[in-house]
Chains A and B, each alone.
Chain A
Amino acid sequence: MFKLFKKDLILFFHDQRSVILTFLLPVILISLFAFAYGGIGVFDGRSEHINLLVTDLDQTSSSKEIVNNIDSLEDMRIIISDSIKSRELVIKGKYACALIIYKGFQDSLEAGNAAPVEMVYDRSREMEIGMLQQALIRTLMSSTGKIIVKKSIENYLQYYYPAIGKSISDNILQTAIKNDNIIPAIKWTSVVGEKNDTKLGLIQAVAGTAILMLLFSVAGVGTSLLEEKENGTINRLLYSPLKGSTILYGKMLFAFFISILQLTAMFLFAWLIFNMDLSVNIPALILMIIATAFAVSSLGIFLAAIAKTRQQAQNLSTIIILIMSAIGGSMIPLFIMPPILQKIALLSVNYWGIQGFYDLFWRSLPFAEIFPRILVLMSIGVVMTLASIQLFKKRIMKLS
């Protein structure tokens, strides 16, 4: 079995295409996905500025105060524009949205009426708008609230205590509206992923892409068994004292080894290039890599086992891997999928692998919490291996 393993290893490293597909392609994809998911590229912990077009048609102290408050937000950059140009720029896709404060804004607030404010936006850029919404609503609510309360207190003092001095009146107003306590301030506290520096997007990119590419690599190893069947080397192996099952075990061992090598290389790459924090639970990480490699390599061999020809195996593998990776979270992060798809994802090996790496790198869970996922991956591996052995015994005997 080890002689077969060694032969496959030499063949693998002789074949530059295989090496590129196994290592270089995943590295490129991980980099692309990592940038796409925003997990890297900004190492100072700050995200890019959100641009907002602002048109102030009211030009009152209240409207100016709101514009200033928005401008003071750390991640916000405002661009002052007129209302027509603002609409045009959003329509043309130059900006995601524009805030238009219409004339009569202050008067409406003081009268206690709905303030004439409009947000013009491009629906296709919902993610940007979503981020903007959170910051903007809080600022607007807070600012308008202050104006309303201030005006109400002023009116009250003038009506009931007309003789009160201006300095006392100002003190009362300052005390009433200071410290953002006009509306209850919600304290936003993140409780996941605070203990490490690794971004969620980077973990998604590395784990998701690594498992996807791993599936393709091991499907290739499985397919090579059918290639050997077609070019006669399997028959020749059977002429030797080797047993049919040994040939399969040799191939499985090679697929398993390449899987471990590929996964390890991907995490090391992410550590070296993207500062991925690998100082997690190391025994759990090793076990997760082994379990994922075992499950994925067994699945790859199984896909080859159910096919009759190399061409059939290639087509079948491509379809199944793409579907499984799509629903399992390799291509699209699971947390943005609808609940029904998140349930279907449980059927894919990608899901268990990616979630296991999330548990390790993002949630920093202890080994006991990660162990069930390792167990599921190992079980997938055992079932697939047993099925492959049965199928190959039949097929190998059929060969002769």
Chain B
Amino acid sequence: MIEVRSISKSYGDIEAIKNVSFNINKGEIFGILGPNGAGKSTIVNILNTLVRPDKGEVTIDGININDNRDTIKLIMGVVPQEIALYEELTAYENLMFWGGLYDIPKSELKSNVNSTLEIVDLSYRKNDRIKTFSGGMKRRINIACSLLHNPKILVLDEPTVGVDPQNRNHIFEVIERLNKEGMTIIYTTHYMEEAERFCNTIAIIDVGRIIALGTLKELREISDAKDLLTIKLADSDNETISRITSANPLIRFEGTSNILKVECENISNDISIIINHIQNSGGVIESIYTQGTNLESIFLKFTGKKLRD
């Protein structure tokens, strides 16, 4: 559905993105994961025709975005990173205004506004001014404003920044519902758990370059990142620890606090074997902490730095 081929964009001497390529299939949730300033918003603005790439080409539904910007704008719905709403207008007035920009017949627009308010579960606040809404509610209206013209593709640029867990879950449910109804979704975030939750494909971007691209499983394989099992032993002598580590080279002893660390392919398969081995070797387990392979560890593997650095 969307083909991005070798696009680059610079602002003066600053290279915002370089040689970025990816494909997005219809009905997919495509995650773009990267730290602030990585180039996520530049990609979003190129996809929505707001920015022309210096190099490369983007086609959506076979249409080159630079040849037919007006058509592309009708296909796309963009939820900006900012809460781009008029605070002095009510939720209903905001939706009518933003939807009205797409020349939708008034009766159809009114119907769309009401159904969209239901999707984001804010019908009961439709006549209240936006300035009286909580941050999470504003984010939901921010999303609703981008749905009024029934876009085929929805781009969400960091839609949960500053949102409390309850509203965040609400936003996730909205996204999942829209996707189930067939909408293709492009989701930029620097929260890994969000990308892990519902992205079919994830592009990891750093300093304007895609450093990894694939499903979570593929990324895990490519990065060679493993699940991590951390075990704290009760007071143990050196002989016991030596027995444990010599029999299984994957088990590493952290010199302090009697802590053992084990990297496993699949933590749920391996945990019972490891526990048995420790106990059979005379070790007494005080506590166990498990950490599955996640995007945090994958990002760390690829870039050598944490995502929020």
A interface list, Cβ under 8 A from B:
3, 7, 10-11, 14-15, 231-233, 235-242, 400
Q: Are A231 and B102 in contact (CB under 8 A)?
A: no
Picked from B51, B74, B89, B101, the residue with its CB within 8 Å of the CB of A242 is: B101
Given A3-B97, A235-B50, A400-B45, A14-B89 contact (CB < 8 Å): yes
Contacts of B100 in A (CB 8 A): 3
Contacts of B86 in A (CB 8 A): 7, 11, 233
Is B61 interfacial (CB-CB < 8 Å)?
Answer: no
Q: Considering the chains assembled together, what is the distance between the CA atoms of A10 and B85 in angstroms? A: 14
Contacts of B129 in A (CB 8 A): 14
B138 to chain A, nearest CB (A): 12
Given A14-B89, A238-B50, A239-B48, A232-B97 contact (CB < 8 Å): no
Question: Which residues from 183 to 217 on chain B have a C-beta closer than 8 Å to any C-beta of chain A?
Answer: none
Contacts of B88 in A (CB 8 A): 11, 14-15
B52 to chain A, nearest CB (A): 9
Contacts of A235 in B (CB 8 A): 50, 80, 82, 84
Q: Are A232 and B93 in contact (CB under 8 A)?
A: no
Question: Which residues from 244 to 289 on chain B have a C-beta closer than 8 Å to any C-beta of chain A?
Answer: none
| Contacts A232-B80, A237-B101 known; 6 new A-B pairs at CB < 8 A | A3-B100, A10-B89, A14-B129, A239-B48, A239-B76, A241-B73
Q: Considering the chains assembled together, what is the distance between the CA atoms of A235 and B129 in angstroms? A: 21
Picked from A11, A236, A238, A241, the residue with its CB within 8 Å of the CB of B74 is: A241
Contacts of B78 in A (CB 8 A): 236, 239
B16 to chain A, nearest CB (A): 11
> In which size bucket is the chain B interface?
20 to 34
Question: Which residues from 47 to 79 on chain B have a C-beta closer than 8 Å to any C-beta of chain A?
Answer: 48, 50-51, 70, 73-74, 76, 78
Is B98 interfacial (CB-CB < 8 Å)?
Answer: yes
Is B81 interfacial (CB-CB < 8 Å)?
Answer: yes
Is B161 interfacial (CB-CB < 8 Å)?
Answer: no
Question: Which residues from 112 to 151 on chain B have a C-beta closer than 8 Å to any C-beta of chain A?
Answer: 129, 145
Picked from A11, A231, A241, A400, the residue with its CB within 8 Å of the CB of B84 is: A231
Q: Are B85 and A233 in contact (CB under 8 A)?
A: yes
Is B20 interfacial (CB-CB < 8 Å)?
Answer: no
Query: Which residue in chain A gives the minimum CB-CB distance to B48?
Result: A239
A1 to chain B, nearest CB (A): 11
Contacts of A10 in B (CB 8 A): 89, 93
Contacts of A15 in B (CB 8 A): 88
